[in-house]
Amino acid sequence: SDTIAPVKGRDYRNERMAYIGGEVFDMQTDPEYIALREELAAREDLDETSREILKWELKDLESFRYIPKDVYVAYNELTMKANVVWKEAKNKNDYKLFEPYLLKIIKMRKDMLQYRHSDLQGYDIYLSDYEPGMTTEKYDQFFDLIRKKLVPLIKKISAAPQIDTAFTNLHYPADQQRKLMYRILDYMKFDLE
């Protein structure tokens, strides 16, 4: 859709892609399919890499397996439409074109949280998808620490006299660079052969 696909066909294409996504959703969320994957992941003769891949696939499945298919398909169709509008808004440097889509995506993501089976709440559920064990509370503590420690350090460094780095923007002939490199290699007793 980003290359030679006809622009006038994108709405139909997005609708069909969302439909196909719904069919894949049906297959991935089929209880028999899930049971087979869980059984496979538990096999003793499975190599470690395959076991890890299956573990992550099953974890990813938990992020959408309880969402109703019509909601899942509608969300995919919305994100495909939003992607088209985002590109247009980016090219025109016009956020207002994309804003309604972004707001709809955020609302749908919030609404879809109700279908998740998790002990976590709100954004912590989404954090656990990508950063297992992390929560907004832990990140708040982390960024508070950065604010207290790093920001004063950056201000101190910025206030200090700056090193003249003009030499990094000068032109140095390649043969002189090569000579310098060989001198350094020789000094380090590094043998190229």
Predicted pLDDT at 41: 87
For residue 5, the Cα-to-chain-centroid distance in whole angstroms is: 26
Q: Nearest-CA neighbor of 80 among 72, 93, 129?
A: 72
| CA 5 – CA 3 distance, rounded (Å) | 6
Give the C-alpha separation, 125 to 185, whole Å.
52
State residue 13's pLDDT score: 86
Identify the pLDDT of residue 193. 67
The per-residue pLDDT string of the chain (193 residues; one tens digit each, 9 = 90 and over) reads 666 777 778 888 888 888 999 999 999 999 999 999 899 988 889 898 998 898 889 888 988 999 999 999 999 999 999 998 999 999 999 999 999 999 999 999 999 999 998 888 888 998 988 898 899 999 999 999 999 999 999 999 999 998 889 989 999 999 999 999 999 999 998 877 6
- Which has the closest alpha carbon to 41: 22, 32, 54? 54
Tell whether the torsion through CA atoms of 142, 143, 144 and 146 is positive or negative.
positive
Rounded Cα gap, residues 33 and 41, in angstroms: 12
Asked if residues 72 and 22 have their Cβ atoms less than 8 Å apart, the reply is yes
Residue 3: predicted pLDDT: 67
Q: Long-range contacts of range 56-62, CB-CB < 8 Å, 24 or more positions apart?
A: 58/34, 59/129, 60/129, 61/28, 61/29, 61/34, 61/37, 62/116, 62/117
